[in-house]
Amino acid sequence: MTFPSRENLVVCFGHPAYRVKAAFDQLDTGVKGFEVKTFEEFERRIADADVVVVSGFWKNHLLEKAPRLKFIQSISAGINQYDLNVLKAGGVRLASAQGVNMNAVSDHAMSLILAMSRRLPEARDNQAKKFYRPMQSDHALREDELAGKTLAIFGMGRIGGRLAKLARAFDMNVIGFRRSNLSDKGYADEVHASSQFHEFLPRADFVALTCALTDETRNIIGEAALSRFKATSYLINLARGACVDEGALVKALRNGAIKGAALDCTVEEPLPEASPLWTMPNVFITPHTGGETCSYEAGIAKLLQANLNKIWAGDDDLVNKVV
C-alpha cells in the first residue's frame, strides 16, 4: 500500500487522558489529525485514519474497520495487545514507544525503593491520622539506609540499565539479569542470565522487575521465587502485573516471607476493590504511573515525527520497529 504524502496523511490520536495531538501540533509538521477520548469514538472514526497513535484502545478486530490504516505508533512500550501476525497480514507497520519513558520509569522505581526503605507510605498514613510516631527502639520498625544493600534488577534494558545507575549513586550493590549480552555490565556490579534469576534471590534486599511481559516472564515471581526471598526484602514491580503471581505474593506478605512490595502495576487494572493488596500495610501501590510525566506526550510526538519522516524517506528501519 502506498503511504500518503504529508499533505494527505491523516493521523488519529486515541487515548482517554494523554494529549499527544497537542504535543505533535507544536512540532508544526503540517500533518492533519484528530483526537478521540473514548473507545467508542476510536472504533467509529478509525476508518478515517492512515496512522493511529494508540495504546489501550487498540483491539485487533479494529483492523477490519480501518481500510486506510498503514502504521501504528504505540503510545506504550508494551505491545502485548497487538496481534503481530494480523498486522503483518494486513500490511500495517507497528513501532513501540520503548525508551520514551526510560527516565520516568527508572526514576519511579528508585522512588519506590526509597519509599519502602524510608517507610514513607507509613509516614503519610500517620500524617492523615495526625499521629506523630515516637522514636523506635525496635530496629525492625525503623527506617533504613540504602548504602550497602543489594538490588537485583530483572530486565537490564534501557530502564533497568538506568535504574542500576541511580542505585549505584546510593552506594547500592546491583545484580542485573538479561537474556543476552552478559559481558556488558553497564552500571551493574554483576550481570547474569535471566535463567539464573532465582539462584540469586537470597542475596537481594530489593528485587525490581523492569522486564517486558513474555511467556518466559509471566509469573516470574511466583511461589518458588518468593520462597527464596529474604524475610527482610522488598519486591518492586515496574514491569507488568502478570509478571507476578498475586495470590502467591499476598500469601508471602501475610506470612512475613518478604517484608513488603511496591507495585506500579497489577494483573487487573484498575486493581479490583476486593483485592487484599489495597489494605495490606506492607504494600505500596501506585496506579501504573511510572511512565506518566509532564514530558511524556512530547516524547511520543517526537518519536512519531521521526518514524513518519523515515517512512516518507523510504527507510524501513523505524525507531523501535516491531512489524
Q: Is 269 a catalytic residue?
A: yes
> 206 with 233: CB under 8 angstroms?
yes
Distances (CA, A) of 279 to 84, 125, 232, 282, 287: 39, 12, 20, 9, 15
> 66 with 43: CB under 8 angstroms?
no
Q: Where are the beta strands (DSSP E) in 4-96?
A: 10-14, 32-36, 51-54, 71-74, 93-95
Q: Is 198 a catalytic residue?
A: no
Distance CA 214, CA 179 (A): 12
Residues 6+ apart with CB under 8 A from 268: 241
Distance CA 174, CA 183 (A): 15
Q: Which three cell numbers stand for residue 40?
A: 467508542
Q: Which of 108, 240, 246, 297 is catalytic?
A: 240
Distance CA 123, CA 271 (A): 23
Neighbours of 231 (CB within 10 A): 10
Q: Which of 118, 168, 192, 288 is catalytic?
A: 288
Distance CA 10, CA 26 (A): 16
The neighbouring-strand residues paired with 35 are 13
Q: Around 184, how many Cα atoms within 13 Å sit in the side-chain half-sphere? A: 9
The neighbouring-strand residues paired with 177 are 154, 192
DSSP secondary structure code for residue 52 in this structure: E
> 32 with 49: CB under 8 angstroms?
no
> 119 with 260: CB under 8 angstroms?
no
> Quick one: which H or E segment has residue 101?
none
Q: Is 240 a catalytic residue?
A: yes
Residue 35 corresponds to which amino acid? E
- Which amino acids are annotated catalytic? 240, 269, 288
